[in-house]
Structure 1
Amino acid sequence: MNLLTITGRKRESYQVELEYSLLWESALGIAAITNTPLVDTLEKNGEFEQLRLEMPTALKNELDYVEQHNTWKSLLQLLHAFESNSNDLDKFNDYVHNLNDEQFKYYCLPYFGTALQQCRTLAANGNQESVDSMKEAAKDNPFLPTYIEFICQVNVVDLKMHLLAVMSLWIEAVIHADADHLLTILKRDFDEKNSMKEKLSPEEFVAWATDGTEYAPEPSVHRVLLIPQLTYRPWTIVSDIEGTKVFYYPIPNTSIFPDDKYLPNYLFIQKHKALGDEVRLRMIKLLSERDYSLKEITEQLELGKSTVHHHLKILRAASLVGNRSSNYYLKEQSLAALSKELELYLQQ
């Protein structure tokens, strides 16, 4: 095909913004500790195990409810609607209390793009056809269809009480004693990222800030929001809100321990640990050929499904392998960057 371009318009990129607060850290902590499939890959897994033993019964009960209904998603959705840069829990509580039932459910429901916004509004008002449309849009997600049905059927007063209770109890048990130190780390990383933002293109900056996440502009996304977090390290969590792609990215060691020049970045350590195993190296070589499904990997390597799943989880946590359309793929840039990361570490 012969193509002659006569437009002078360049591809538009997105605007990058940063936010941080202890409310974000709290909601993500609640999400992390109740994410059973991934919790053993988290840096804070040991702390979470101890916390589970020592936490008040009231908090344990609320976290059990979070795990059952994935209400951590509601917290994050509501924080995006709220003044999320605020650290004031009382203001957040007042904001949630003052939402009417339809507003509350609308904000709790996930965003699936502009085409389904009317369905989202109608679903929040109890229209079952719209609820079913949203569930259909979410059918490839392991928890969202059930979550959507739950939000549309739940008693709003009960859910509000639960969300505010679990946030208050988490902040009291986990955040309060260390709040000043956490804010210092969050602010330090926020300042470091802001100092680099003007030196890189938006796409380069997102990749740098999130340990290699590649995100190309999308037609309906004009803003990328970066939110630093400690509690979900080493994972970067990706989400969508209206017109915005959100990355809750892991704070690097350099922002946590700025005076220790010998401390390597946590993800850098995890990459080398992930590669220090024969089975995982075989997977890396296999995925260097093409994308493979879980079934294909088990057949090619003649391993059990649970064994393959375990090793893939470690490779994904180390940001060496990704998942798309039910297939696993090698993050070639992340793998190729290892030698450069080692060089930078030795020179720091």
Structure 2
Amino acid sequence: MEVFSMSSRKRETYHVEVKHSLLWEAALGIAAITNERLLDTLDYTESQWEGIKQSLSKEMLAHLEMVQEHNTWKTILLLLHEKDMDSVEEFNDFLINLEEEEFRYMAIPYIGKNHQQDRKLASQGDQQAVARLQEASKDHAFFPRYIAYISQVDVQHLKSHIQEVMTGWYESVIQPEEEKFKGILERDAFSKNKRLEKLEAEDFVEWATSGIRYTPEPSVYKVIMIPHFIYRPWNVEADIEGQKIFYYPVANESIHPNDPYIPDQMLVQKFKALGDENRLRMLKILMDGGRTLKEMTEEIDMGKTTIYHHLKLLKSARLIVAYGPRYHVSPRAWEMLPKELELFLGAEK
């Protein structure tokens, strides 16, 4: 039997807003340099990261160790979403004036609408609420440990740490190339806003993130898109109440605005990932069905660490995806790859 819809209403979706700031660029740089497992997949080379480390003081390096241990980069990003701020000084003033309970509440991540009361109680020191939030986020890589830390840490100590790590990073890494970073982010935000005028919200998010198809959720009314340079080629996702955040990698043309022949960064990433015999072999295996890291190790005579490294590069190129512990080929990536190459080379003109 055929079913006809009597409604003329379109399926509701979210509103998209593109925002940019050097403060977010600074926070993501701090997150990047302290994520050792991801560092070798980023566009910045090993020598560039070493150069940054050598430019930092011993005190700043100690603060980065604290960031790595407690994931306090997450605190910085959450605070930056509380208010639009244009400078480190404005951020520091905002931070200083926060009351202890208010600070803890902002620093505890949003787990979902049903957990907001526990978030409030946890910010007041209720350890049962902390335990419930930890249970609700148990599948997240670091949220349970992070929530416990935020609920117990000396707030003044953490505030001081955040001030110093943000100020130190901005002065050492951002400020020397401030105009360069500012120009890249402004150009990318401008070009994205122009494209946003022509695309539906969901299509825009998929295009800007090079493949993330984010379908509407009942509790999300806005998606905020934030360009970044230093964390390329990765997208970073976050949730705040009523909103989804995507920190997405800037396009190559935003970095090289005067070069009409510059290829799309993700296109380059994909072909780099394909240019290796071992990775091609892994893709061939995954074409036959999903595999865990353990299963892949059993099929290929290669060390587990090496296989994981190759899978990580394939994933960063969006050629494979991970659902839980299993890796799968991304069908949409293979559908789009010939089209992306044709568009770049102008074969369809």
Same fold judged by TM-score > 0.5?
yes
Residue aligning to 1:142: 141
**C-alpha displacement at 1:325, in angstroms?**
2.4
Residue aligning to 1:52: 53
Which whole-Å CA distance do the structure 1 matches of 2:191 and 2:294 have between them?
A: 43
Percent of aligned pairs sharing the same letter: 46
Which whole-Å CA distance do the structure 1 matches of 2:3 and 2:326 have between them?
A: 33
**C-alpha displacement at 1:148, in angstroms?**
0.8
Amino acid aligned to 2:282: M
**C-alpha displacement at 1:324, in angstroms?**
2.2
Which whole-Å CA distance do the structure 2 matches of 1:17 and 1:90 have between them?
A: 25
Residue aligning to 2:62: 61
Residue aligning to 1:338: 337
Residue aligning to 2:126: 127
Are 1:15 and 2:15 an aligned pair? yes
Residues 154-208 of structure 1, C-alpha deviations (whole Å, 9 max, x = no match): 0000000000110000010001111112111111111101111121111111111
Which whole-Å CA distance do the structure 2 matches of 1:142 and 1:190 have between them?
A: 30
SS of structure 2 residue aligned to 1:337: helix
Q: Structure 1 unaligned runs (5+)?
A: none
Residue aligning to 1:72: 73
**C-alpha displacement at 1:103, in angstroms?**
0.9
Are 1:30 and 2:30 an aligned pair? yes
Which whole-Å CA distance do the structure 1 matches of 2:296 and 2:110 have between them?
A: 33
Amino acid aligned to 2:58: T
**C-alpha displacement at 1:8, in angstroms?**
4.6
**C-alpha displacement at 1:323, in angstroms?**
1.8
Are 1:245 and 2:258 an aligned pair? no
TM-score of the superposition, structure 1-length normalised? 0.95
TM-score of the superposition, structure 2-length normalised? 0.94
Q: Which region of structure 1 is more displaced relative to structure 2, 52-61 or 288-297?
A: 288-297
Coordinate RMSD, CA, aligned: 1.8
- The correspondence of residues 1-348 of structure 1 with structure 2, limited to 5 A, is 7-46=7-46, 47-83=48-84, 86-347=85-346
Q: Which region of structure 1 is more displaced relative to structure 2, 123-132 or 214-223?
A: 214-223
Q: Structure 2 unaligned runs (5+)?
A: none
Which whole-Å CA distance do the structure 2 matches of 1:109 and 1:261 have between them?
A: 44
SS of structure 2 residue aligned to 1:264: coil
Which whole-Å CA distance do the structure 1 matches of 2:14 and 2:284 have between them?
A: 35
SS of structure 1 residue aligned to 2:254: helix
Q: How many residues align?
A: 346
Residues 260-302 of structure 1, C-alpha deviations (whole Å, 9 max, x = no match): 1222222211211111122212222333343332223223445
Amino acid aligned to 2:37: P
Q: Which region of structure 1 is more displaced relative to structure 2, 9-18 or 71-80?
A: 9-18
Amino acid aligned to 2:341: L
Which whole-Å CA distance do the structure 2 matches of 1:232 and 1:145 have between them?
A: 24
Which whole-Å CA distance do the structure 2 matches of 1:243 and 1:288 have between them?
A: 38
SS of structure 2 residue aligned to 1:329: strand
Which whole-Å CA distance do the structure 2 matches of 1:142 and 1:27 have between them?
A: 19
Question: Does the CA-based 8 Å contact 2:130-2:148 persist in structure 1?
Answer: yes
Which whole-Å CA distance do the structure 1 matches of 2:286 and 2:83 have between them?
A: 42
Question: Does the CA-based 8 Å contact 2:55-2:172 persist in structure 1?
Answer: no
Question: Does the CA-based 8 Å contact 2:138-2:144 persist in structure 1?
Answer: yes
SS of structure 1 residue aligned to 2:81: helix
